[in-house]
Amino acid sequence: MSEISRRSFLSAAWKVGFGLMAAAGAVTTLGLLKPQLAAGFAAIVRTIAPNEVPEAGVLEVPEARGYLVNVDGEEVLALSETCPHLGCRVPFIDENNRFECPCHGSKFTREGDYVEGPAPRGMDAYATEIVDGVIEIHTTEVTPGPPPGTERT
């Protein structure tokens, strides 16, 4: 067996290291270029049966970036989680039974109607359709929220 010189070993180690980095970069680049399945905006999101939406509170649907709300036990409304003021995510506050924007203080009823704050209108709603007994949210079809002083219900 012949001994390997220090110079040959370091040269081989550098080549292997750069080869591994190039391979990792190629895999990462291919992952970014590969088309992803649609979710959230510009998608149809299948959720649950209408009778499974709770009558009190709201049901968060992360895939649609929105909420499902049962209105008077008859209609199910799909609301966008985005505040119409500056686009913050608006969570539902169970204790107050309404949506409250943490960024600038806009408040909305459980049905997404404007209550107070700098928002120019109520929360936007997505179109919904019941297919095979399941609610489908069409995130491409957005209806702007009603102006202050009006109610959806």
Residue 142 has pLDDT above 80, yes or no: yes
Quick one: which H or E segment has residue 17? helix 6-33
pLDDT in tens, 38-76: 444 557 888 888 788 888 778 888 888 889 998 877 788
Tell me, what's the pLDDT at 100? 92
What is the pLDDT averaged over residues 112-129? 89
Residue 37 has pLDDT above 50, yes or no: no
Which positions ≥6 away from 147 have C-beta within 8 Å?
Answer: 114, 120, 121, 122
CA–CA gap between residue 137 and residue 51 (Å, rounded): 16
Is the pTM above the cut of 0.95? Answer: no
Tell me, what's the pLDDT at 21? 95
Please give the order of strands across the beta sheet that includes 44-46: 44-46, 134-143, 125-131, 75-80, 66-71, 59-61
Give the 3-state secondary structure of residue 75. strand
Give the 3-state secondary structure of residue 141. strand
Residue whose entry in the numeric block shows the structure tokens 């019941």:
130
- How sure is the predictor about 144, in pLDDT bands with cuts at 50, 70 and 90? confident
Query: Which superfamily, per CATH, for 44-143?
Result: Rieske [2Fe-2S] iron-sulphur domain (2.102.10.10)
CA–CA gap between residue 49 and residue 76 (Å, rounded): 10
pLDDT in tens, 2-34: 788 899 999 999 999 999 999 998 888 877 776
Query: How do the domains of the chain map onto residue ranges?
Result: 1-35, 44-143
